[in-house]
Amino acid sequence: MKNAAPPVERREVMGGLAKGLEVIRAFTREQPLLTLSQVAATAGLPAATARRCLHTLEELGYVTRSGRSFLLRPKVLELGSAYLESMNIETMTRNHLEELAHRTGDSASLSVLDGIEIVYVARASARTLLRLEAHVGSRLPAYPTSMGRVLLAGLDRERLDRYFAAARLEPLTEHTVVDRTRLERLIDECRRNGYSAVEDELAYGVVAVAVPVVDQSGRVVAALNSSGHSKKLGKAAMVRERLPMLREISRQIGLELARLPALALSTQA
């Protein structure tokens, strides 16, 4: 009698990590609040395993609780922004940003949303602002920035509510909008008009206009802006003169993103 063939060894995997990701995916727009038993049922896990996953995610800041229910925290957005940042966006978009900076004589930037902040992933500048100078990796609060409002406008209602639950809306200048109702109105206007413009809200003298960068499915994946000094160009003039340029360069960057192998593979998965 022949000996039975040895079982095929399974690749090295972390079952705990896979279960934790299943727990995160259990939360949806339709079910933003889930009890332990609901998480276990949706993720297909024993209650004890789901409990350990939830407690771990809570300790790491990805999950919080409300009474007997759990919900995701904005830190989960880091997992998505890591995907975009890992594709070397700075190198890919450098020519586009340098063109915009050269044509305007000011700064051009690309950012993504990371929790309650925007993170600069690419930047070019023809001059240095007197009061504020950002660089790749810089973080700024989302609510008083043109790129932040563009990125917030790309969120669904549930995720926007989570943002406001976590964000600390503090005045940075006397012009900073910190009232949630007014901010939501500005975000709605941005969603309708396809751009956001701010002046003297992040810092005195800083004026900027931003537009979204979208992927093949129309999802907002980044924000592109042009910023300068308000003594050189006011908000209304900046929108009038630079919005067409921003929209065209955003379209070009979107096409570049669509050619990335990582994006192509993700659409086939």
Q: What is the pLDDT of residues 10-42, one digit of tens each?
A: 566 678 888 999 999 999 878 889 999 999 999
Q: Of 121, 161, 162, 171, whose CA–CA distance to 141 is shortest?
A: 171
Q: Are residues 98 and 197 in the same domain?
A: yes
At 142 the three-state DSSP class reads coil
pLDDT band for position 123 (cuts 50, 70, 90): confident
Predicted TM-score (pTM) of the model is 0.65
What is the domain count for the chain? 2
Q: Which domain holds residue 200?
A: 79-268
Q: Are residues 40 and 87 in the same domain?
A: no
Q: Are residues 240 and 176 in the same domain?
A: yes
Give the strands of the sheet with 63-66, arranged side by side: 34-35, 69-72, 63-66
Please report whether residue 3 resides in a domain: no
Q: Is the pLDDT at 43 greater than 70, yes or no?
A: yes
Select the more confidently predicted residue: 187 or 230.
187
Please report whether residue 4 resides in a domain: no
C-alpha–C-alpha distance, residues 51 and 30, integer Å: 21
C-alpha–C-alpha distance, residues 54 and 209, integer Å: 40
pLDDT band for position 131 (cuts 50, 70, 90): very low
Q: Is the pLDDT at 269 greater than 70, yes or no?
A: no
Mean pLDDT (whole number) for 209-220: 88
